[in-house]
Structure 1
Amino acid sequence: MPTGRPNVLLLLTDQERADLVEPDGLSVATPAVDRLRSEGTWFDRAYTPTSICTSARASLLTGLYPHAHGMLNNSHEADAIRSSLPPDLPTFGERLRDEGYDLTYAGKWHVDQPRGPEGFGFEYLGGSDRHHDDLDDAFERYRADLDVDPPDEEDLVDPLYTDGENPTLVAATTTVPPEATRTYFLAERTIDALERWVENGARGGGGADAGPFFHRTDFLGPHHPYVVPEPYASMYDPEEVERWATYAETFDGKPRVHERYLHYRGVEGFDWETWAEAVAKYFGFMTFIDEQLGRILDALEDLGMTESTAVVHASDHGDFTGSHRQFNKGPLMYEETYRVPLVVRYPGVTEPGTRVESFVRLHDLAPTFLEWGDAPIPEGLHARSLAPLLAGETPDDWPDSVYAQYHGDEFGLYSQRMVRTARYKFVYNGPDRNELYDLEDDPAELRNLSQHPDYRAVREALEGRLVEWMERVDDPLRGWVPKTFGD
């Protein structure tokens, strides 16, 4: 076992599906994540608490479900329920800073609009985009130094847009060279930070062992638009992209919003050939990001920091990319958007090449980081430290199910709650019919069994399990939802 507190490197992506990088997953080249898995621990059943950016990221900071931290939908939209976290709510960044960690942050923020990462214990190193945050112009200055003009949509090759009056760019090839992209820039910023820690001893002298430091890099991909430079844009042939099993979706017996969302997102007319073009770019985007992760891991090793640094790779939530014929995410609690990648390499703690089947949540990372840093863990969190699982021990009281929420997106509020066990998934839909899936017989979640007479006992058991979770986390709907159950 290592002595002392570890340095921590959190490498977060945006809308990365777990099956992109899981063992025996999709045919996508991700050697850096494969390397982390072979040298650390992979979590087979990691889930986001909610499939929407601001809400999930706020949960990661606080260790709370969205109903408790209040960021129910995206903070940058005009209909945001809140644009800022409650000022008295503790976050892991502030607590680690108070315990002497040197915290830095690069990339996407998308949590609190009035306050950036500096308000939560981090030094911000730049890399935000104007759409979500507009925190700095570091990337624009970096590209100007490369003598590369900012691209516009007219410079895109073979762009793919959604249908409708206000089309959304889905995918394209950019003529910008890889080193002039934001993805590459964020890796550069991260490597610069690592080098600075070695040179300055975390500003206190003494070299790489002086730490501890906590650095977080939030890549803005593989979130759409899947705009990718060559050679990654052409790396995957659309004709060789295997059709999703979920593409057989008929919407029979599903909540009405599922089919209506095709029109809402502007993909009602997309056939598989169209989706395959987008998926190929999505795959290329992930490989491009993975190459940057590899550059960061190589720099960590070259600087002699591998043994003293815990590396965590995860994503805020997943992405449909044509699964169930859907685009982006929304009021659909399928595996593609709720199951997320999570791998941890902590030399001396994690056994190389191990896999954990226990259910865990993205926001379990908050108390994990605090435990690693010997910082006080706030009372009342809806999360548990992953430390025992990483050490190969599963507590007797570890949950054998996972719970998630959805409160709405830009189209309005929409209450959903989910409980998922090893075999089944039950989804409560406030405005419409509930859902029940037998994931052993129907891993693509195509058949809603909520009204099937042979599954009545299963449904009732899962309804009870859902209510138990709602009571455990003080969900404000816990007193009302049970009254809606029954035939």
Structure 2
Amino acid sequence: DTLEGKRALKGSVPGLPPLSQKTGTSDAVIRDRLRMLAGIDEGVGSLCKLLESQGELDNTVFVFTSDHGYWYGEHGLSVERRLPYEEGIRVPLLVRYPPLIKAGTLIDEFAVSVDLAPTMLELAQVKTDQQYDGRSLVPLLKGEHPENWRRSFLVEYNSDTVFPRLVKMGYKAVRTPRWKYIQFNELEGMNELYDMQHDPYEMKNLINAPAAKETVKQMQAELKQLMKN
């Protein structure tokens, strides 16, 4: 990634080199992450074997997820996982429960972390009047496709000083099946728009493209509505 169009990432940071291939995650860190994943895989495997030996494997709901993604050098990034690009905001979500979910099922609808609580409550048959920001994923797990399922979601981050590159990099972003719009809170004239169908790696910022002018307006309106809700 040449970072062309990513003016926010190209900004000068005192004491740090400009983002480039050299500033991406090191091979040593990547190897450590692979070792960590292997350890998790072994642990989950041991747990499955134990439950199977007790006859409870298919009576147990397995949910495997994470709290954030990782950079492996994309956009020259390393530890700055709070940014709104796909590698940072997407997480794995694997659910195993044979009485309900057909093996090999792949769900395309948007799921977000706040969906997990209502999902687990419904799977446990817990009745509650509590209102949640998320929605139960059970209909999707059963193979249904609700017509009123979300078509967009909000990603939001407020700047902090933990990572020097992220100072004043707070943003609000909206993702739809095709588009992602990023609006920085403190950086003027540096917003970004990506066509996720044709540019899944977010290499070409279309924010100033004449043909995308109407799309920008639509995404700004969608962002405003999500913030209101």
Relative to the length of structure 2, the TM-score reads 0.86
Paired position in structure 2 for 1:424 = 179
SS in 1 for 2:156: strand
Tell me if the contact between 2:179 and 2:195 (Cα under 8 Å) persists in the aligned partners: yes
User: Root-mean-square deviation (CA), in Å?
Assistant: 2.5
* Selected match of 2:161 from 410, 414, 433: 410
* Larger RCO of the pair (alpha carbons < 8 Å, separation 6+): 1
Residue 393 (structure 1) aligned to one of 129, 137, 144: 144
SS at match of 2:102: coil
Q: Which residue matches 1:372?
A: 123
Q: Pairwise mapping of residues 172-187 of structure 1 onto structure 2 (< 5 A)?
A: none
Find out whether 1:323 has 2:74 as its counterpart.
yes
- Contact 1:331–1:414, Cα closer than 8 Å, also in 2: no
Pick closer, same or farther for the CA change 1:414–1:267 going to 2, 3 Å.
closer
- 1:470 equivalent to 2:227? Answer yes
Q: Does 1:287 align with 2:42?
A: no
Structure 1 distance, partners of 2:215, 2:41, is 40
Aligned residue for 2:212? 455
Aligned-partner Cα distance in 2 for 1:400–1:426? 14
The separation in 1 between residues aligned to 2:50 and 2:184, in whole angstroms, is: 47
Residue segments in structure 1 that go unaligned for 5+ positions in a row: 1-248, 473-487
Counterpart contact for 2:206–2:212, Cα < 8 Å: yes
How has the CA–CA distance of structure 1 residues 453 and 471 changed in structure 2, closer, same or farther, with 3 Å as cutoff?
A: same
Which one-letter code corresponds to 1:425 in the other structure? K
**Matched residue SS, 1:426:** strand
Q: Counting strand residues as a fraction of each chain, which structure ranks higher?
A: 1
Matches within 5 A, 1:233-244: none
Note if contact 1:321-1:328 (Cα within 8 Å) is conserved in structure 2.
no
Distance 1:418 1:471 in 2: 14
Q: CA deviation at 1:414?
A: 4.6
**Counterpart-to-counterpart distance in 2, 1:281 and 1:263:** 29
Q: CA 1:309 to 1:299, structure 2 compared with 1: closer, same or farther past 3 Å? A: same
User: Closer, same or farther in 2 for the Cα pair 1:399/1:271, shift >3 Å?
Assistant: same
Distance 2:17 2:127 in 1: 47
1:207-356 aligned at under 5 Å gives the runs: 249-256=1-8, 258-260=9-11, 271=22, 275-356=26-107
| Contact 2:24 2:77 (8 Å CA) reproduced | no
Cα displacement (A) at 1:360: 0.8
Name the CA distance, whole Å, in 1 between partners of 2:12 and 2:39.
Answer: 30
* Contact map agreement 1:436 1:449 (CA 8 A) in 2: yes
How far apart are 1:320 and its partner, in Å? 1.1
Q: Deviations over 1:405-452 (max 9, x none)?
A: 112333456531111111211111111221101122221111111111
Deviation at 1:267, TM superposition (A): 8.5
What's 1:165 paired with? none
User: C-alpha distance in 2, partners of 1:371/1:431?
Assistant: 41
Residue in structure 2 matched with residue 79 of structure 1 by the alignment: none
Alignment partners' CA distance in 2, 1:465 and 1:292 = 42
Paired AA for residue 456 in structure 1: K
Q: What is the DSSP-based 3-state SS (H/G/I as helix, E as strand, rest coil) of the residue aligned with 1:425?
A: strand
Q: In the alignment, what sits opposite 1:446? A: 203
Distance 1:449 1:269, change over 3 A: closer
Q: For residue 84 of structure 2, give the secondary structure of its aligned residue in structure 1.
A: coil
Question: Deviation string for 1:436-481 (max 9, x for gaps)?
Answer: 0112222111111111112111111111111121122xxxxxxxxx
Same amino acid, percent of matched pairs: 32
Unaligned 5+ residue runs, structure 2?
none
What's the offset of the Cα at 1:290? 1.4
Give the match for residue 29 of structure 1. Answer: none
1 CA distance for matches of 2:108 and 2:226? Answer: 20
- Based on CA coordinates, which of the two structures has the bigger radius of gyration? 1
